Amino acid sequence: MARKSTSKPLSKGGTPVRRKKMAPSLLSSPAVRGAIIVAGVAGLAALGVALFGTRRFNDEVLKPISAATLVPLAAAAGPQAERAWAETRPWRDYVARVLTSVNTSEVREQLADRLSQWVDRFR
């Protein structure tokens, strides 16, 4: 009598079907990628300081980078900030008037009375 094989073939000619979906990788998270980039930049900066020294690193790396990025940014943002400051002048004056009108002895006494009543509730 011939023995039957109890094992089944791995596939029936088609592509194998995955039973479980792969869990998302930890490295696909934007927060983890950002942390890796920050750590890499800090490591490169530390390497630059170790190789060049602090003064040379500051003169040859940091100052040119800041001049190339921060100065144009400040030049672009300066006029907008001044315009926004000028446009909010009426609102800032209104808030200042409200705060000075509230800062009277009568209002302070009312506030002290309410605060003492509130504290008495918890005794």
Q: Give residue 94's identity as a one-letter amino acid code.
A: Y
pLDDT in tens, 52-89: 888 988 888 888 888 888 777 778 888 888 889 899 99
Of 74, 86, 45, 47, nearest in space to 62 by CA: 45
Non-local CB neighbours of 16 within 8 Å, separated by 6+ positions: 10
pLDDT tens digits, one per residue of 10-61:
555 556 556 666 566 777 788 888 999 999 999 988 888 888 888 988 888 8
